[in-house]
Structure 1
Amino acid sequence: MLPKISVITPSFNQGSFIEQTISSVLKQDYPNLEYIVIDGGSTDETVSVIKRYSSRIAYWVSESDRGQTHAINKGLSRATGDIIAYINSDDYYLPGALEKVARYWVEHPDCDLVHGQCEIVDHVGALVRLQQGDIRSLEQCLDLWGVWWGGRNFVQPEVFWTRRMTEKIGPFREDLHWVMDYDYWARIFAVGGRAGFIDDRLAAFRLHPLQKSTQPERTANELLSVVRPYLFSKSTPIGRKEQIRLRAEWMYHAEFLPRVRESIACNEPPARRRAKLAGYALSHPSVLLAGPFRTRLTASVKPLFSNTVLGGKL
């Protein structure tokens, strides 16, 4: 009596990769699978590939949509599984992944999100590195600096979640283009979702030049926009001390550093730049709690102090 698993694949013009994706899902030979493919009206060989497997796909469509997130939500609205996941049309599952997830949930029915290890591969499938996430709480999920960007992040294709969570938090945010998956995991933790880890390889995430994740600056900016409401709300269910620390990190990276870059780009004199940045720090004293800010401040003040001593003025 293994639980029903719904897998959604959003696709658009990934004809060179999608057959491996589809095959990796179907070759799981999982007995209680609902596979849904939502194509955005591809003009390459994608549709012909989907048609070859159509008899084993619960539902598929190829029509214009509003992008990847809209495609995922279209599939989500049709998913009836106890466990849900989506895998993009350039990634793939490793053998036995679905059964490992199902058996873990049978043994841990209180888990709402489960993940494993993920292989990061190049465009031909050669292993680049192995990623193992380590996030168990909303506090850790919101810590972009020490956790998410510190190598403890989830990689999307190795994450599965329960239908009860989707019923509680709703669909993915279609206004997000880069980090709708991160936002979803944060929302699961925000409503008390529990995470579980499978110490095994479940999926492969492919690196290639055309994928969206090759644009780190846009991804980082969208991540900062997602975490902001959590860090500045009194109702966020995390410790007050941790919230203040993370808020300081956000202020440093989302507001202070852009001011530094803008000043440099405008060729402002160093003295004027320091005065403006000091003004920001005085009006936003919380930024002083950010470790990088203190490091930067120490590095800028130390030479001045040394020069004063050497010049015999102190």
Structure 2
Amino acid sequence: MCLLWPLAFAFALLVDRLFGEPPTWAHPVVAMGRYLGLFSKRLLSLPPRPAFALGALAWVLGALLVGGLALLLESALILSLAPWSSWPRLLLCAALLGLLLKPLLAWRMLADEVLAVERALQVSLEDGRSQLARLVSRDTSALSAEQVREAAIETLAENLNDSVVAPLFWAMLAGLPGAAVYRFANTADAMWGYRGQWEWAGKWAARADDVLSWLPARITAIAMSSLRPQALLRLSQQASRTPSPNSGWPMAAMALRLDLRLGKPGVYQLNAEGRAPQPQDLPAAIAYARRGLLASAFSLAALAAFLRLQT
């Protein structure tokens, strides 16, 4: 059974490539967002300490619920196929686990949305800004075409980790519950993990996501980078320029790989001596991200097989 999760990874990525996202009513990440939304108004009405406590409690309860349901599904699936002979059981179990894992991954949608930004820019700058606003939380109304492309490429790199590599990493370690809890943590960070009015209510969610994304973000970056020591040192130096302990890694890797200048005005700049993004750079960024995805997925699948072989 050491090949169970490698085959499940491959099946999940194949389903993603062929079919994309499930409908909204059946999407577990949408359900996670709805659960978190139940607490949002209440959290924002509380003073700092109660807001932090309730935010942490809601996060922990949600993580337990998500992880418990995932564990129940995984266990029921494996037990129900126990009477089958070895190879048919392995293939069917891997296919069904991959089908359950797929909604926790979102590569095809990410790549399609980023390419849509460039297509919209070919129509008008305003269309490009509007399309980008679907992907980022920052204000896009005053961005130039170059800045729109910068933000789209940064989003691609950051979400390559958040939406694909990190869920695979946690599935490698803890199966379906690991991937599900990670996606819950990342969704909570996306909804609550901000400064300002969310400073206290979202602090637990932000810190939990930082911890769970720490190693996957670096795996994602290295998978897109040259493995020469000098290149890795430069990657580390550039990644440290962002406020986030994690998102700078895949973004810096993409900036260095394409020799682009990427940044958020007034906040940070990566590879400052690089050139400004041009129309051909978004498809090129997707190609590099795809290679990083495949390298990461292959490595994590091999590790999953090794870990199961030891048990």
Higher strand proportion: 1
| Greater Cα radius of gyration, structure 1 or 2 | 1
TM over 0.5: no
- Name whichever structure is richer in helix by fraction: 2
TM-score, length of structure 1 as denominator length:
0.26
Higher relative contact order (CA 8 A, sep 6+): 2
TM-score norm. by structure 2 comes to 0.27
